[in-house]
Structure 1
Amino acid sequence: MKAGEPTRPRHFFASRFDRTYKLAAHGWAADIGPGLGTIATDNDPGGILTYSLAGAQYGFDLLWVCVLSYPSMVALQMVAARVAAVTGQGLTANMRKHYSRWLFWLAVVRFLGANTLNMAADMLAMGEAAQLIFRGSVPLFTLLFACVSLSAAFAERSMGQRISVPQSGRAW
């Protein structure tokens, strides 16, 4: 590295054999990758409602789906994390560079649709939970949660910084 050249933060998956920079307590996390973290953090209200309904209806009959889908989820998250670490950009920016315009926009529209439906399910689940606690109207609670979420998102953007994401270079 030349003098004055900016340094990039070292990531936990930078090198499989260079383990000197990792804490011993987190050594297993580098081998598992970000897939386990994705599974653990995906417990949003819509997910919890879905898990509860599926568990109530099917019991343990669908547990084999977890075993089947976990390796592909880990692989997908690992590839996405490594692409971001190598290029310094996310998947969308890399898709814009390497794929045709129509394929890029098709992917962006699909991402936008999936995220919008996921957020709508989360707001509806929070409205249902608030109705159980406070005995009110589900659409009113859902609208209230949507307004609070949008206000927080616009406040975050107007301040010019992210509120919920720590600004450190370490992933673990």
Structure 2
Amino acid sequence: MNTRIPISKKLLHFWKLLGPGLITGASDDDPSGIATYSQAGAAYGLSTLWTALIAFPLMASIQQMCAKIGLVTSQGLTGALKKNYPKPVLYLMLLFSFPAIVMNIGADIAGMGAVGNLLFPKIEATFFSVFFTVILLLLIVYLPYQKIAAILKYLCIVLLVYLVVPFLYSQDWIRIIKATVIPTIKFNKDYISILVGILGTTISPYLFFWQASMEVEEMKHKNKHLMVDKKVIYEMEEDVDFGMSFSGLVMYFIILTTGTVLYNGGIHQIDTVEQAALALKPLAGNSAYLLFAIGVIGTGLLAIPVLSGSLSYIIAETFGWEEGLDKKFHEAKAFYIVIAISLLLGLSLNYIGISPIKALIYTAILYGLTAPVLIAIILHICNNKKVMGIYTNDRKANALGFIALIIMSVAAMTLIYFQFTDN
């Protein structure tokens, strides 16, 4: 008797297992992230491709720790901080996280608006920014968690467009492979700044909070919050690994696209995602331009709910408010009001003179300062048997975590140094 399971069923089963890890990974490639990767490719060609290989294991290890904290403790990262650390640590994280996430939201909304204007030139960018903000707010408030999760999950598919773009024109694949596996480091301020920017974009603190909170939401929905076992942990690790590898792959292909088309075309300065999309048009054709632009809007629709949601979880858990995307508005008013405020504040950045690029710089600085501290705390929690029981870190997780801590600490110090030195 043939008991082989068809490949289609295996793929469907795997797709059903994917959830918070996939969404978190995909949301990491938001419009502001795309701008950073585009800057790297345009300015330095293929010389930063290798960063995707370095970033993946570090991203995956930290996100797995955050997910495990959520699964084991049945509370978000903020709740774990509140319970096990002095309040000043919690309030310091809140102080840095709020403006950083709001500015990130603002930069993403502005990027989506600008790209919308590129696709439909007769309609102003500000109209698209307001339109996307209103649509996102309505969807987040009125849709139940499972619908939101399903929409976010399918929006991840939009990122596949970036895997197509480099194949629309000829490539020197031998040169690309060499650039991927042989690191290139240029010891000058601009190049090091790009490396710091890539790290800050890929290992972002808001993702730590979102990952832990979403695991709690998933367990509540499945009624498994008292049934954490090795199988649940294994499925979580599979989900996170896939999500982070997908994120790294998209990052790789965006650098590849801009590092070949724009760099070889003599365009070495890209400050915004719309500039990257527009620059591709005469060099790589309409197909590449349209796919790149559509991808920006899709990633914004995916990332902004993650950004605003993570901020709301942070604040709600800090002050003990009712929280959760699985709750209706009247059940968690403060939680949803924070989401609304974060979206409106992000939108307002377009009207008060803070440019998207400045917002990205300020965001990178704040993320750079908080990431090392948070990684250290996450490592401490995941090695605390009183909190994690039998699910404390193994040697591999600790090794990757400490490497991430060292790299992000060096990145933070480098970032601070560059802010106080002349060109």
Question: What TM-score do the two structures reach when normalised by structure 2?
Answer: 0.29
Q: Which residue of 1 aligns with 2:409?
A: none
Of 145, 149, 170, which aligns to 1:165?
149
Q: Give the secondary structure class of the aligned counterpart of 2:111.
A: helix
Given that residues 140 and 148 in structure 2 are in contact (C-alpha distance below 8 angstroms), is that contact kept between their aligned partners in structure 1?
Answer: no
* Map of 2:117 onto structure 1: 131
Name the structure 2 match of 1:18.
Answer: none
2:94 matched residue in structure 1: 108
Q: Higher relative contact order at CA 8 Å, sep ≥6: structure 1 or structure 2?
A: 2
The aligned counterpart of 2:356 is: none
8 A contact 2:69–2:77 mirrored in 1 = yes
Q: Give the counterpart of 2:51 among 40, 65, 71.
A: 65
What corresponds to 1:95 in structure 2? Answer: 81
Deviation at 1:38, TM superposition (A): 4.1
Aligned to 2:346: none
Q: 1:48 aligns with which of 15, 28, 34?
A: 34
Q: 1:41, 1:143 → 2: CA distance?
A: 21
Per the TM alignment, residue 79 of structure 1 is displaced from its structure 2 partner at its CA by 1.0
| 1:118 and 2:118 aligned | no
Contact kept? 1:95, 1:104, Cα under 8 Å: yes
What is the identity, as a one-letter code, of the residue corresponding to 2:103?
L
Take 2:140 and 2:98, find their aligned partners in 1: how far apart are those partners? 16
Task: Give the letter aligned to residue 142 of structure 2.
Answer: A
**Shift of the alpha carbon at 1:107?**
1.1
Q: Which of 62, 67, 71 is the matching residue for 1:85?
A: 71
Aligned-residue offset at 1:139: 2.7
Question: Residues 124-165 of structure 1, C-alpha deviation per residue, up to 9 Å, x if partnerless?
Answer: 111111110111322332233223223333334xxxx32312
SS at match of 2:41: helix
Query: Cα offset for 1:98?
Result: 0.9
Instruction: Specify every segment of 5 or more residues in structure 2 that has no aligned partner in the other structure, as ranges.
Output: 1-9, 151-217, 223-234, 240-423
Paired residue secondary structure (2:148): coil
Give yes or no for contact 1:126–1:142 (8 Å, CA) kept in 2: yes
In structure 1, what is the Cα distance between the partners aligned to 2:61 and 2:112?
31
- Whole-angstrom CA distance in 1 between matches of 2:24 and 2:138: 26
Partner of 1:11: none
Q: Could you say what secondary structure the match of 2:43 adopts?
A: helix
1:153 equivalent to 2:140? Answer yes
Contact 2:117/2:125 (CA < 8 Å) preserved in 1?
yes
Tell me which amino acid in the other structure corresponds to 1:140: F
Q: Deviations over 1:69-107 (max 9, x none)?
A: 323212211111111111111101111111111210111
Q: For the Cα contact (< 8 Å) 2:139–2:148, is it kept in 1? A: no
**Contact map agreement 1:46 1:125 (CA 8 A) in 2:** yes
How many residues were matched structurally? 140
Is the alpha carbon distance of 1:76 and 1:115 closer, same or farther for their aligned partners in structure 2, counting shifts above 3 Å?
same
Cα distance in 1 between the residues matched to 2:39 and 2:133: 23
Asked whether the equivalents of residues 124 and 142 of structure 1 are also in contact (C-alpha less than 8 Å), the reply is yes
**In structure 2, distance between residues paired with 1:138 and 1:62:** 31
Of 36-45 and 79-88, deviating more is 36-45
Contact 1:92 1:108 in 2 (8 A): no
State the distance in 1 between where 2:24 and 2:136 align: 22
Change (3 A) 1:151 1:38: closer
Cα distance between partner residues in 2 of 1:164 and 1:65? 32
1:116, 1:53 → 2: CA distance? 22
CA 1:154–1:40 in structure 2 vs 1: closer, same or farther (change >3 Å)? closer
Hey, which bits of structure 1, 4+ residues long, moved more than 6 A?
Answer: none
Q: Which moved more, 1:99-108 or 1:42-51?
A: 42-51
Coordinate RMSD, CA, aligned: 3.0
Partner of 1:4: none
